[in-house]
Amino acid sequence: MPCRCDKYGKREVKRLKKVLTGNYAAAYAVKAAKPDVISAYPITPQTPIIEKLSEFVDSGELDARFVRVESEHSAMAAVIGASAVGARTYTATSSQGLFYMYEVCWWAAGARLPIVMGLVTRALGPPWSIWSEHTDFYAMRDSGWVMFFASSAQEVYDLTLQAYRVAENSDVLLPAMVGWDAFEVSHTFEPVDLLDENVVKDYLPPKGGRTNILDYEEPASLGNLAYPDDYIKIRHELYVASKNAHRAIRESGELFTKISNRDYSKPFECYRCEDAKFFYVLMGSIAGEAFEAVDYLRSKGVDIGLVRVRVYRPFPYKELAQVIGDAKGVVVVNRASRFGGFAPLTEDVYATLRDCGAEVRVFEVVAGVGGVDVIKEDFVGMFREFEKRKKGSIWWVR
């Protein structure tokens, strides 16, 4: 088993490599975080997460209460109740399941409960589909949740642990979710480096340190009626907490980089961005083929780079503007359907550029919807289409 010294140089930190799917990587991260309560309802392609966590609880490897429920709405309600009394919690879902629990997801954020949720992204019906797209993930963007998106099983593990640290930060206290692609990540095996659980314990905040909990000794209400003057103050506090999450994400990422030797110092991954005049901006596992397209276009003399967004909420507007603010053009690839307006990631890129006063042409692409493969040649075609069109900014890859 490979070992190295910890950040203080006082002892060895054990790291174990396992071959895991993205779903199993999530389960191992949750096991290391040692939640008190887990509740979820199975739905393809999320089910293996819950099966593995159930095994951990049943075998005694994880000392947690696994609450079995009849629906996703009840699963979120269960972890809301547990978190409200101070428990560390976890749930997971996909697609229609997220929409079934959608109402109470907003209650979790409004009540400032640091629940962590895994979302295995899946297309919404009709027609019925079990394959990946990001429409379900984007539906949470205005809810107040902190939102991460992983592109590999390793990132699923790493970001799940970071989600706990950010959510439980005393200046944040917001629920956090980690999304990843169905099947390309959720069911595909790859080597994953696991941290020693003692290292994880030191990395995460101590359990039981929260003050916003229900207490028999000091009775209070949760989610009561608020008059307009109080309501806007409460919503503004949630806004401030979301802004505070910027700093918490940066600090947790920098510390995680030290203990893991994996770089999380930025809220996105940059590839060949240093001298780039054009950029792809995207999320998720399709980045692998996009890397190949960047290399190919570079070989043809195109100065192009790639930004893969890893933290979606709060969106890293300032950091992204420093990378793409002087670009000649940006191709934004959305793995989500869009109707009657720009797709979500495009809107955020537009806001990033307009906020910094940059006049950069943005070309929106919708690709990979419903699990359609997006390969290197597709990415090359996106850029060629961008070059060909003098006006117009929307293109579907089908």
pLDDT tens-digit map of 53-106 = 999 999 999 999 999 999 999 999 999 999 999 999 999 999 999 999 999 999
Please indicate, yes or no, whether residues 156 and 237 belong to a single structural domain of this protein.
yes
pTM: 0.94
Residue 274 sits in a domain whose CATH number is 3.40.50.920
Q: State the average pLDDT for the chain.
A: 95
The verdict on residue 11 lying in a domain is no
Please indicate, yes or no, whether residues 254 and 292 belong to a single structural domain of this protein.
no
CB 378 within 8 A of CB 397: yes
Q: pLDDT value at position 208?
A: 81
3-state SS, residue 44: coil
Please indicate, yes or no, whether residues 235 and 306 belong to a single structural domain of this protein.
no
The CA distance from 331 to 339, in Å, is: 19
Structure tokens at 360: 């950069």
Q: pLDDT value at position 2?
A: 42
Segment 309-356, tens digit of pLDDT: 999 999 999 999 999 999 999 999 999 988 999 999 999 999 999 999
Structure tokens at 133: 């797209």
Please indicate, yes or no, whether residues 123 and 254 belong to a single structural domain of this protein.
yes
Please indicate, yes or no, whether residues 231 and 277 belong to a single structural domain of this protein.
no
For residues 144-168, b (16+ Cβ closer than 10 Å) or e, as one string?
bbbbbbbbbbbbbbbbbbbbbbbbb
Segment 294-311, tens digit of pLDDT: 999 999 999 999 999 999
Q: pLDDT value at position 342?
A: 93
The residue ranges of DSSP E strands in the chain, in sequence order, are 3-5, 12-20, 37-40, 65-68, 89-93, 116-121, 146-149, 176-181, 190-195, 268-271, 278-282, 304-309, 311-313, 329-334, 361-366, 394-396
The CA distance from 44 to 315, in Å, is: 28
Q: pLDDT value at position 245?
A: 99
Check whether 3 has a pLDDT greater than 60. no
Q: Tell me the CA distances in angstroms from 59 to 185, 195, 360, one per residue in order.
A: 26, 21, 56
At position 89, the amino acid (one-letter code) is: T
* Across 220-234, 262-276, 284-298, least confident range: 220-234
Check whether 9 has a pLDDT greater than 70. no
Check whether 255 has a pLDDT greater than 60. yes
The CA distance from 286 to 368, in Å, is: 8
What's the pLDDT band for 216 if we cut at 50, 70, 90?
confident
Number of domains forming the structure of the chain: 2
Number of neighbours of residue 377 by Cβ within 10 angstroms: 12
Residue 122 sits in a domain whose CATH number is 3.40.50.970
Segment 25-54, tens digit of pLDDT: 999 999 999 999 999 999 999 999 999 999
Please indicate, yes or no, whether residues 84 and 101 belong to a single structural domain of this protein.
yes
Q: State the residue range of the domain holding 348.
A: 268-395
Please indicate, yes or no, whether residues 200 and 349 belong to a single structural domain of this protein.
no
Please indicate, yes or no, whether residues 253 and 284 belong to a single structural domain of this protein.
no
Check whether 130 has a pLDDT greater than 50. yes
Question: Higher pLDDT residue, 215 or 365?
Answer: 365
Q: CB-based contacts of 11: which residues, under 8 Å, 6+ apart?
A: 5
Q: Measured in whole angstroms, how far is the alpha carbon of residue 243 from the centre of its chain?
A: 17
Check whether 153 has a pLDDT greater than 90. yes
